[in-house]
Amino acid sequence: MGRTFTELPARSKCSRCRGRARIGLPSHNARFCPDCYLLFFSTAVQRALKRLSVPREEPLLVAVSGGKDSLTAWDILNELGYATHGLHINLGIGDFSEASRERVDAFARARGLSWSEYSLQREFGYSLPEINRRFQGKICSVCGRLKRQHLNRLAVRENYGNLVTGHNLDDEAGRLLGNLVGNRQEYVRKQSPYLPSPHPYIPAKLKPLYRLDISEIRIYCELRGIEPAEIKCPLSRGATSHYFKEALDMLEGRMPGTKRQFLFAYINTRQGETGQEADFGECCFCGHPAYADVCGVCSLKGQMEAKN
Ligand code: AMP
Ligand code: ZN
């Protein structure tokens, strides 16, 4: 991975220890030396975890794609002393999936961490390239749905009540903006860095990186020697969520701090609400929780079979 932060002038002082600062964070109006940066990062994650009220002894299942966000989440939780286990879904997308898997494996080996790998094709019956042939143009949302549903099911199968994902500040703020613009109130209501388990078959969801943005996560990776998969998914076709993130980046560039202000103001107004509502029944095919008669997985499977 290339350098992610620019060197500050030699006279720059760390906002915390007054030693030589190397990393400037305009959105916090702060500069840090590498050690104090790691402390800043870890404090942001601990603040997030405090808000998510997860007891330290509770084991956490970390959904790891092999990308920078989920490897960072896994690394910092491990550093903070949580018992963690990785969960990787191999999507079967050629070199992309091979490289992603290899990064998860290398990361876990170097730190002596345990993880499980599942194949989407084996679990669902179809690989993503096959699904892509049926759902061209919609593959990112179909893949996102499949990943979410399978992560839930696999977490339950692995006996974990808490599922961690690597969603960061940019993901959350971009998603919030998109849902507000589209007036998708049901999604807006469900958006939270912590969703308690609403059903025995659905784990609680935790996003310990929701207070940190992409550039802060990149710096963390560089300082900690984390080498994420850099290869882009060949099936991805510029999802609309990217436009919302770009819009927020533009505002952030002009008014540093806007992104966090936007997301945190929203989260603060919703403190105490649970987010997820238990308004679902059971899928008539597989018995998993579903909002309609058929769950998302069985409904997609039905569409795949019908088109075959
Ligand atoms: P994405 O929807 O690709 O932005 O990913 C959001 C989060 O979902 C990541 O930070 C991971 O925690 C998790 N995730 C994505 N892809 C996978 C995968 N193939 N296996 C396990 N977890 C994943
Ligand atoms: Zn089902």
Kindly report the backbone phi and psi dihedral angles of residue 22, in degrees, each rounded to the nearest multiple of 5, phi listed first: -120, -15
Instruction: Report pLDDT for 27.
Output: 86
**pLDDT higher than threshold 60 for residue 13:** yes
Token pair, residue 288, equals 């998993």
Secondary-structure percent of the chain, ordered helix, strand, coil, rounded to 5: 50, 10, 40
Find the mean pLDDT for residues 139-145: 91
**pLDDT higher than threshold 70 for residue 255:** yes
Cα of 281 vs centre of ligand 2, distance in Å, is 11
Instruction: Report pLDDT for 57.
Output: 84
Q: Which of 28-42, 52-66, 117-131, 153-167 has the lowest mean pLDDT?
A: 52-66
Under the banding of pLDDT at 50, 70 and 90, the label for residue 161 is: very high
For ligand 1, atom 23, name the residue with the nearest CA: 65
d(CA 129, CA 127): 6
Cα of 84 vs centre of ligand 1, distance in Å, is 16
Protein residues placing their CB within 5 Å of the ion ligand 2: 283, 285-286, 295, 298
Pocket residue to mutate for ligand 1, from 64, 175, 233, most atoms within 8 A of Cβ: 64
Where do the structural domains in the chain lie, given as residue ranges? 55-274
**pLDDT higher than threshold 80 for residue 271:** no
**pLDDT higher than threshold 80 for residue 206:** yes
**pLDDT higher than threshold 70 for residue 185:** yes
Ligand located closest to 285 CA: 2
Closest CA to 45 of 73, 67, 16, 70: 73
Range among 4-18, 30-44, 224-238, 268-282 rated most confident: 30-44
The helix/strand/coil state of 225 is coil
Ligand 1 site, CB within 6 A: 63-65, 69-70, 87-89, 91, 144, 147, 165-167
Ligand 1 atom closest to Cα of residue 171 = 4
Pairing of strands 30-32, 60-63: unpaired
Ligand located closest to 73 CA: 1
Cα of 166 vs centre of ligand 2, distance in Å, is 26
Task: Go through 12-40 and write b for each residue having 16 or more CB atoms within 10 A of its CB, e for each that does not.
Answer: bebbbeeeebbbbbebeebbbbbebbbeb
Average pLDDT, rounded, for the chain: 91
d(CA 211, CA 194): 12
For ligand 1, atom 2, name the residue with the nearest CA: 144
d(CA 151, CA 166): 13
Question: H/E/C letters for each residue in 46-111?
Answer: HHHHHHHCCCCCCCEEEECCCCHHHHHHHHHHHHCCCCEEEEEEECCCHHHHHHHHHHHHHHHHHH
Ligand located closest to 283 CA: 2
Closest CA to 169 of 79, 248, 272: 248
Choosing among 3.40.50.620, 3.40.50.1100, 3.40.50.970, 2.60.120.200, the CATH entry for 55-274 is 3.40.50.620
For ligand 1, atom 17, name the residue with the nearest CA: 65
Helix (H) or strand (E) holding 202: none
